[in-house]
Homo-oligomer: A and B are copies of this chain.
Amino acid sequence: MVKFRSMSQDSVSAPTFSPLYRQIKTLILQGLEAGEWRPGELIPSETELALRFNVSQGTVRKAIDEMAAESLLVRRQGKGTYVASHTDAGPREAFRFLRLVAETGATETLQSVPLECWRAKAGHEAARTLGIAFGAPIIIVRRLLKFSGKPVVIEEIYLPGELFGGLDLEMLQAYQGQGSFYSLLETRFGVRMLRAEERIRAVAADPVNAKLLEVAQGTPLLSVERVSHTYGDRPVEWRQSLYSTATHYYSNELS
């Protein structure tokens, strides 16, 4: 392996300096991206990777440390390092990106009810958000999330058609209870959501959504707009959700 131990700062704009462990991180990332190791699988041991990349074990360790901090990998002492997955088991593990919590700390069942799934062409906003051409095919999913049987979230999900060709209502229904939506995208389409940004606002319930969420029309709801990204920070999901916050709240940690 060729090591670029440093980069000179001769040029005007500064590429600055890239430590070895970041180069290793990039190499591991490429392996993940190329599907060399699939979600949930074990990656080679640190010593093995160190041999392969011809660096010390400590350097591999630091690369993996960063990736574990970003939830790309999961370390398990005594066993090895695994590729992070949205299909992990554990009720709260499975919905990694869902920050809704019951007012009463009670444990709840969470059920996803697919309502519709149709094909469309990307409008200006969807095209811009997803980084695809205006008019490019997209898939729109509409679904309801029920906490302990009560409807709490209604959402519309916009996906680039190019990546999720075969997705339809039937598939969504068939996947019921087998895992989260992202778990489906991961296992059926090989697209992994690594990071997401959310924009939260307060809006009034319109008649249609009010009925679905079983609240009065005009009830204040949380509007959560999410853009999820896969490798290379490529946006691959745009989602507009409405959260009913009568019995639940959006939980966030600051530091």
Which residues of A are in contact with B by a Cβ distance under 8 Å?
69-71, 96-97, 99, 101, 194-204, 218, 220-222, 225-226, 243, 245, 249-255
Contact = CB atoms under 8 A, between A and B. Distances in A.
Nearest to A221: B202
23 contacts: A96-B254, A97-B254, A101-B199, A194-B255, A195-B254, A196-B254, A197-B251, A197-B252, A197-B253, A197-B254, A198-B251, A198-B253, A199-B249, A199-B250, A200-B222, A202-B203, A202-B220, A202-B243, A202-B245, A203-B220, A218-B218, A220-B220, A222-B222
A16 to B, nearest CB: 12
Q: Counting chain B CB atoms within 10 Å of each CB, which of A196, A218, A255 scores highest?
A: A255
A200 B220 CA distance: 12
B255 A201 contact: no
Nearest to A252: B198
A199 B226 CA distance: 18
Contact of A250 (B201, B220, B251): B201
Nearest to A199: B249
Q: Counting chain B CB atoms within 10 Å of each CB, which of A199, A200, A222, A225 scores highest?
A: A200
A11 to B, nearest CB: 21
